[in-house]
Copies of this chain bind each other. A is one copy, B any other.
Amino acid sequence: MSHKTKVAVIGLGSMGFGMANCCLAAGLETFGYDVNKDAEERFRALGGASAPQSEVLPTLDAALIVVLNAAQTEAVLFGENGIVPHMAKGAVVISSATVSPDFARDMESRCAAFGVHYLDAPISGGSLKASSGDLTIMASGSKEAFAKAAPVLDAISAKIFDLGESAGPGSAMKATNQLLAGVHIVSMAEALTFGMTQGISPETFLEVISQSAGTSWMLENRAPHIVDGDYTPRSTVNIWPKDLGIVLDIAKDAKFSAPITAAAMQQYLAAAGMGLGLEDDAAVAKVYARNAGLTLPESDKE
């Protein structure tokens, strides 16, 4: 009788819920846990397996951790009700939060003390791709960690980069990607509002620049939010002080001068200081608009 992979997804937010569903759709026996019991209930209603965590943990092949940051990751793995001490030897922890490479190495080593594999596996792609199983995973870890995680990775991702045989490079690549993604959003906002001071409408900016050498993945993804005046959060302003904070912390440790990232960070902090932390990250344009006395497009919906 072939073994059915058993996975627990811990963290059923906008990313984790979609990823848990993808595991279900791939035929994995999938448990979903969250501090929000409503989310757990919704996941069970969709076919999620049901059992107390204490009974499930020793039987798992994999635990997929989809929480916000390093502190939450550490709490889930080794906190008061930490899962790792209860997992079977040879099982794997797949850790997807954006964390520092040093933190990832520390978690790998502490998991190893319990005979549990650790895959440093940050994700990229946003909640839509999480729902459709089309994430990009920037992963590193032992051959055993990759092998044990394979059914879960296959269920949730369209592209897996194998970046090395231990934890660290996965998180390093994610931090590098976030540096650029965070900078490109602010740069788009700076250029769009600069154009407005010269009489270029946000619509014309988007039409022309998206077809020119000044374009970026983030510009094409986020500038439409400003054109539409729609700041419904797909990814919030608050993500960036966290993620660029990780980048700048790593950079400081490496004595690496990162002036563009540092300047971008200030604009996100100004946006958060304006009370926009929970809006879509394209709202960083409001910092520029306020400073320059510009009026951004408003949504038709209101």
Chain A interface (Cβ within 8 Å of chain B)? 101, 124-126, 136, 138, 159, 161, 163-164, 168-169, 172-173, 175-181, 183-184, 186-188, 190-191, 193-195, 197-200, 204-205, 207-209, 211-219, 221, 247, 250-251, 254-264, 266-267, 288, 291-292
CB distance from A245 to the nearest CB of B (A): 14
Q: List, sorted by A's number, 5 A–B pairs whose CB atoms are closer than 8 Å.
A: A136-B212, A186-B260, A197-B254, A260-B260, A262-B263
* Residues of chain B lying within 8 A (CB to CB) of residue A197: 250-251, 254, 256
- Which residue from chain B places its CB closest to the CB of A293 in the assembled complex? B255
Complex contact B199–A176 (CB within 8 A)? no
CB distance from A124 to the nearest CB of B (A): 5
Q: Which of B169, B251, B263 contacts A194 (CB 8 A)?
A: B251
* Residues of chain B lying within 8 A (CB to CB) of residue A199: 164, 168-169, 172
Complex contact B176–A205 (CB within 8 A)? yes
Complex contact B191–A179 (CB within 8 A)? yes
The CA of A260 and the CA of B264, in the complex, are separated in Å by 7
